[in-house]
Amino acid sequence: MKNTKDAQSSSLLEQSDNAHAFSAEERDAVYRAIFTRRDVRSQFLPQAIPDQVLSRILTAAHHAPSVGFMQPWNFLLVQSLHVKQKVHAAFARANAEAATMFPDEKRQLYSQLKLEGILQAPLGICITCDRERTGPVVLGRTHMKTMDLYSSVCAVQNLWLAARAEGVGVGWVSIFNQEELQDALGIPQKITVIAYLCVGYVSHFYDQPELEKAGWLPRLPTESLVYFDQWGEQDASETLQELLRADQLYAQQVGTQQRHD
pTM attached to this predicted model: 0.91
Please check the confidence at residue 234 and state whether its pLDDT lies above 50. yes
Q: Residue 73, SS3?
A: strand
User: Using an 8 Å Cβ cutoff, are 60 and 165 in contact?
Assistant: no
For residue range 15-25, what is the model confidence (pLDDT) as tens digits? 888 999 999 99
Mean of the pLDDT values across residues 161-186? 98
Q: What pLDDT score was predicted for residue 138?
A: 97
What's the pLDDT score for residue 3? 41
196: β partners: 126, 173
Q: How far is Cα of residue 211 from the mean position of the Cα atoms in its chain? A: 14
Q: What is the pLDDT of residue 260?
A: 41
**What does the pLDDT read at residue 57?**
98
Flag whether pLDDT at 6 surpasses 80: no
Phi, psi of 31 (to 5 degrees): -65, -35
CA 36 to chain centre: 11
Q: Where are the domains of the chain?
A: 33-217, 220-261
pLDDT of residue 22: 94
Closest CA to 153 of 69, 55, 212, 72: 72
pLDDT the model gives residue 258? 56
Per-residue pLDDT for 144 more than 70?
Answer: yes
Query: Highest mean pLDDT: which of 147-156, 230-239, 240-249?
Result: 147-156
Mean pLDDT of 45-57: 98
Distance between CA atoms of residues 173 and 170, nearest Å: 10
pLDDT tens-digit map of 179-206: 999 999 999 999 999 999 999 999 999 9
- What's the mean pLDDT in 2-10? 51
**Is 33-217 CATH 3.90.1210.10?**
no
Q: How confident is the model at residue 5 (pLDDT cuts 50, 70, 90)?
A: very low
Say which amino acid occupies 24: A
125 close to 61: Cβ distance less than 8 angstroms: no
Q: How confident is the model at residue 105 (pLDDT cuts 50, 70, 90)?
A: confident
